[in-house]
């Protein structure tokens, strides 16, 4: 699948397909079930400075063409991540790249987590999570351009590793936030995180999700993800990672044509653990059948009509 | 715990075994061979279609045959389970399993299995396995109404024992709750699977009688393998722990039973 490789941030991604944060744990959960090291990479569950307990159940439920979740960033915290989770990734992933998803309540917390991980081995860079809809203040940085700029600048100063910012779709114009990140020194963007949503149990007259609201993901959000990825990619020069509802190679290729250099697969993994492997195989087959030598020839190659 | 296996598998049979209640047998040799009682599978339909159930659903491995069949007890109550109830021989499903931590038991005292509704499922697997190893097993099985009772003859065929049946409306078996059938003052091992109020009552009884109890819990589940952290229950230490990988079977001392 040579045509799928992408060179970004000074390294080679053997495939453009990564597993999305929150859907692949810390990697080890998939050991023996799917060939993780054959993928482009994985993005870990969010890591905060201290362990977080997470939200009350129910935390997940099915929605039409997808799911809603409000996990609440339950995670083991910086120390245990570094001591117990990162070594597994370091040992087992030699070709696939690891991005560590980082979350915090304050600029200081983000910066402390990054500083606390930076000299460890086993990962390439960071995905800065400013877009979680399920915790108080989770989208604070993602919806305030000034705060976002300050955060990205600070993280940029803390590390020489790639800094990718995961944006929320819940803003009037994602292009504005994309440019803010680029101007503040981000190396890339992940678009998009989940959409805020709610389900109600009619008989019980109560919200289905313990947190009341949650984030909606899955095929239902595919067209919004493609559009917002296209908007963001139009606005910046830095690479964009397309996320949202991908379950087939053609879904992923739409993101690529919209301007994504890489893609992430999340909810589809729950339906079929082979989803990511199947998508990358399908992408390679498409390149071959279309006589496209390299995936990068398709990045942003959507042809708009003359009247657009 | 062995590595789970992703397995496209064929439905062998799906028979109605009570009102809205089905006994589904699937050809799944790698899962049948590896499973232990109390473990579960995720059953779904893959990524080809978007209608419910889009996400796979967890089901206790309800039984296994020597020929590699597994049995699942399906109750129809929503759109997702509706599609499972409508499966026909030859249909293909996508399985992931076996998953989770199962029941463990000693041979030296009777095993009393308390089943509420579809909570009967894991005991259809556990009873014959334990009996084969020389244990004494009783199944106390309760339903709200008699029409939903899973065919007792099928229970006997699968397990070799007759369940003691309780219905709240008294239309079949004895009237009352299954928990009322537990004989006190006897050295037994208790196992429970069913609605949360039943498990709470069972925990209270086990605590009062100082009896060992393991329960199989159920919570909304996303992945089945510990990645999404959706299916949590509260541990005795007050932490949210994953029912998919740390359970679904827990000793009563491991969980918080406060409301």
Give the pLDDT of residue A140: 83
Sort out which chain A residues have CB atoms less than 8 A from B3's CB and list them: 31-33
Tokens of B4: 């789970």
Please give the ipTM for the structure prediction: 0.95
Q: Which CATH number fits domain B5-99: 2.60.40.1840, 3.30.260.10, 2.40.30.10, 3.40.50.720?
A: 2.40.30.10
pLDDT band at B78 (very low <50, low <70, confident <90, very high): confident
Report the CATH number that the domain containing residue A23 is assigned in CATH.
3.20.20.70
Window B:137-166, CB contacts with A under 8 Å: none
Q: Tell me which residues of chain B, numbers 203 to 222, contact chain A at a CB-CB cutoff of 8 Å.
A: 219-222
Number of structural domains (chain A) is 1
How many other C-beta atoms are found inside a 10 Å radius of the C-beta of residue A288? 12
Q: Cis ω on the peptide bond leading into residue B248 (within 30° of 0)?
A: yes
Question: Do the domain assignments include residue A110?
Answer: yes
Taking alpha carbons only, the member of A163, A39, A51 closest to residue A101 is A163
CATH 2.40.30.10 domain range(s) in chain B: 5-99
Instruction: Confirm whether pTM is higher than 0.90.
Output: yes
- pLDDT of residue B1 exceeding 70, the answer is no
- Check: CB of residue A64 under 8 Å from CB of residue A84: no
The DSSP result for B116-148, as a single string, is EGGGGHHHHHHHHHHHHTT--EEEEEEESSGGG
What distance, in Å, lies between the first and last C-alpha atoms of chain B? 31
Class (C level, CATH) for B111-216:
alpha beta
Scanning every residue of chain A, which has its alpha carbon at the shortest distance from the alpha carbon of B3? Answer: A32
Identify whether the C-beta of residue A259 lies closer than 8 Å to the C-beta of residue A233.
Answer: yes
* pLDDT (tens place) for every residue of chain A, 308 residues total: 779 999 999 999 999 999 999 999 999 999 999 999 999 999 999 999 999 999 999 999 999 999 999 999 999 999 999 999 999 999 999 999 999 999 999 999 999 999 999 999 999 999 999 988 777 777 889 999 999 999 999 999 999 999 999 999 999 999 999 999 999 999 999 999 999 999 999 999 999 999 999 999 999 999 999 999 999 999 999 999 999 999 999 999 999 999 999 999 999 999 999 999 999 999 999 999 999 999 999 999 999 998 87
CB contact under 8 A, A270 and B231: no
Residue B144 Cα, gap to closest chain A Cα (Å): 19
Q: What are the respective helix, strand and coil percentages of chain B, to the nearest 5?
A: 25, 35, 40
In a domain, A84, yes or no: yes
Q: Are residues A33 and B53, on separate chains, in Cβ contact within 8 Å?
A: no
Cβ–Cβ contact B247 with A under 8 A? no
In a domain, A272, yes or no: yes
Domain assignment of residue A305, yes or no: no
**Six token digits for residue A306:** 């003359």
Rounded average pLDDT over B149-163: 96
pLDDT band at B141 (very low <50, low <70, confident <90, very high): very high
Residues of B in contact with A32 (CB under 8 A): 3
Question: Do the chains contact at A29 and B226, CB–CB below 8 Å?
Answer: yes
CA–CA gap between residue A71 and residue B178 (Å, rounded):
35
H helix or E strand, kind and range, residue A18: strand A17-19
Answer whether B54 sits within 8 Å of A25, measured CB to CB. no
- Asked if residue A129 belongs to a domain, the reply is yes
Q: Which of B226, B240, B241 to mutate to test the interface with A (most CBs of A within 10 A)?
A: B240
Q: What percent of chain B has pLDDT over 70?
A: 99
Whether residues A270 and B228 touch (CB distance < 8 A) is answered with: yes
Range of the domain at A19: 2-55+71-200+216-297
């Amino acid at each position: 699948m040579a045509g799928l490789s992408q060179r970004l941030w000074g390294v080679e991604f053997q495939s453009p397909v990564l597993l999305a944060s929150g859907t692949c744990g810390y990697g080890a959960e998939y050991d023996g079930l799917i060939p993780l090291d054959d993928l482009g990479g994985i993005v870990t569950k969010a890591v905060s400075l201290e362990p977080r307990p997470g939200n009350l159940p129910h935390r997940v439920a099915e929605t039409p063409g997808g799911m809603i979740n409000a996990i609440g960033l339950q995670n083991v915290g910086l120390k245990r991540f570094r001591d117990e989770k990162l070594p597994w990734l370091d040992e087992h992933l030699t070709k696939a790249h690891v991005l560590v998803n980082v979350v915090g309540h304050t600029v200081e917390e983000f910066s402390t987590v990054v500083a606390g991980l930076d000299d460890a081995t086993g990962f390439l860079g960071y995905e800065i999570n400013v877009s979680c809809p399920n915790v108080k203040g989770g989208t604070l940085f993602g919806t305030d351009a000034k705060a976002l700029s300050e955060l990205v600048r600070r993280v940029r100063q803390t590390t020489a590793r790639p800094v990718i910012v995961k944006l929320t779709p819940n803003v009037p114009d994602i292009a504005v936030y994309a440019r803010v990140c680029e101007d503040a020194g981000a190396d890339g963007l992940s678009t998009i995180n989940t959409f805020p949503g709610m389900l109600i149990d009619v008989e019980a007259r109560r919200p289905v999700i313990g947190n009341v609201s949650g984030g909606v993901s899955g095929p239902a959000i595919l067209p919004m993800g493609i559009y917002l990825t296209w908007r963001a990619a139009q606005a910046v020069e830095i690479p964009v990672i397309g996320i949202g509802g991908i379950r087939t190679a053609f879904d992923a290729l739409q993101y690529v044509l919209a301007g994504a250099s890489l893609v992430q697969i999340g909810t589809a993994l729950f339906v079929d653990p082979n989803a990511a492997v199947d998508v990358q195989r399908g992408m390679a087959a498409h390149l071959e059948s279309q006589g496209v030598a390299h995936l990068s020839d398709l990045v942003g190659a959507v042809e708009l009509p003359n009247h657009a | 715990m062995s590595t789970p296996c992703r397995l496209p598998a064929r439905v062998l049979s799906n028979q109605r075994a009570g009102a809205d209640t089905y006994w589904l047998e699937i050809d799944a040799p790698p899962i049948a061979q590896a499973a232990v009682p109390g473990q579960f599978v995720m059953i779904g339909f893959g990524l080809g279609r978007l209608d419910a159930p889009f996400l796979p659903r967890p089901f206790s491995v309800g039984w296994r045959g020597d020929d590699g069949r597994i049995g699942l007890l399906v109750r129809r109550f929503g759109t997702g389970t509706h599609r499972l109830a409508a499966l026909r021989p030859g249909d293909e499903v996508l399985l992931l399993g076996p998953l989770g931590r199962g029941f463990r038991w000693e041979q030296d005292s009777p095993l009393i299995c308390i089943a509420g509704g579809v909570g009967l499922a894991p005991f259809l697997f556990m009873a014959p396995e334990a009996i084969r190893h020389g244990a004494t097993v009783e199944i106390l099985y309760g339903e709200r109404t008699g029409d939903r009772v899973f065919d007792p003859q099928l229970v006997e065929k699968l397990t070799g024992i007759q369940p003691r049946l309780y219905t709240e409306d008294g239309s079949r078996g004895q009237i009352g709750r299954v928990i009322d059938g537990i004989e006190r003052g006897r050295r037994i091992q208790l196992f429970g699977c069913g609605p949360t109020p039943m498990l709470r009552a069972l925990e209270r009884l086990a605590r009062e009688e100082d009896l060992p109890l393991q329960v199989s819990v159920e919570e909304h589940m996303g992945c089945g393998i510990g990645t999404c952290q959706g299916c949590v229950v509260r541990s005795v230490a007050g932490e949210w722990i994953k029912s998919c990988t740390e359970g679904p079977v827990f000793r009563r001392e491991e969980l918080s039973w406060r409301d």
